[in-house]
Amino acid sequence: MPEAQLLSGKTVSESVYASLNSRITHLKEASITPGLAVILVGENPASQVYVRSKTRKFEKLNLYSETIRLPDSCSEEKLLEKIQILNADDRFHGILVQLPLPKSIDEQNVLLSVAPSKDVDGFHPLNLGLLTAGNPRFIPCTPKGILRILEHYDIDTDGKRVVVVGRSNIVGRPMSILLSLKRNPGNATVTLCHTHTQNQKELTRSADILISATGVPESISGDDISEGAVVIDVGINRVEDDSEKGYKLVGDAEYDSVIQKATALTPVPGGVGPMTIAMLVENTVEAAERLLSP
């Protein structure tokens, strides 16, 4: 079997940024600079890394971003008050509440409080409803990034069997809906697996395209996939090792065994991760462009 193709999200993201340049210029000519407000509650190390990566990319593109840092002790009421202020602030076309939130705060209440027109993560129930109806306003960033990878590398989904492992509202559930819609990429027959799925291996082995978004390190092996499958690995997991850093990043897929059977695979790091940030930028630009519509 030929060597598997690595699906580089880094390469695809650079093409996305190149395509956004003229759109950003057009907005700035209309005195609109796309702006993003990021709310970070607490000291979660992974969240801090993600937020730094996001804001760094906005700065590099000369877009406006501001990070609002709140302590772990912040009450839900104070957080909701801050979101209402940002909803009314014209500098911000997008608002992102970095998850997870402290356990004392009701995540759903917070996501509901973000103005749907500024919900660039696509997590508001109204936006999830529009997506389910096949008329999305904002597509959640990671699923949207996966669609772009499939498009860029001409991976056909029409009539294919897709198995999505993981049912979160952030990745798994919207991904399963998007690929079942009458669109391209889409028109697939989609199975959604989760922690209560029986005979999961039987299902994953039947997949033409396997998308894993469980956050369980190296839980998908070569034995779990069919010969010639396309594997989209959403997981980014820290695993301790003997290196100078003390850890390495691995995906949900066990790379060495999966690469032997797959025709294509997203690497970790450098696969889906860069696309999530690129789609956040694009969604923020789209939110700003709506101000130009009559």
Beta strands per DSSP E along 1-90: 5-6, 35-41, 64-70
The tokens describing 251, both together, are: 């995906």
Q: Which of 98, 119, 233, 261 is catalytic?
A: 98
Which 8-state DSSP code applies to residue 99? S
Catalytic residue (one of 121, 224, 233, 252): 121
Instruction: Please name which of 158, 176, 157 lies closest in space to residue 166, comparing C-alpha atoms.
Output: 176
* 143, burial (CB in 10 Å: exposed 0-12, middle 13-18, buried 19+): buried
Query: Position of tokens 């840092």?
Result: 69
DSSP letters spanning 120-164:
TT--SHHHHHHHHTT--SS--HHHHHHHHHHHHTT---TT-EEEE
Six-digit token string for 203: 């299902």
Which residue, 51, 103, 41, is CA-closest to 71? 41
Would residue 252 show up in a list of annotated catalytic residues for this protein?
Answer: no
- 72 in active site: no
| 54 annotated active-site | yes
From 54, 82, 118, 144, active-site residue: 54
Nearest to 1 by CA among 238, 173, 226, 253: 226
Please tell me whether residue 69 adopts helix, strand or coil conformation: strand
Instruction: Report the interhelical angle of 272-289 vs 9-29 (nearest 10°).
Output: 20
At residue 200, the 3 state secondary structure works out as helix
Catalytic residues: 54, 98, 121
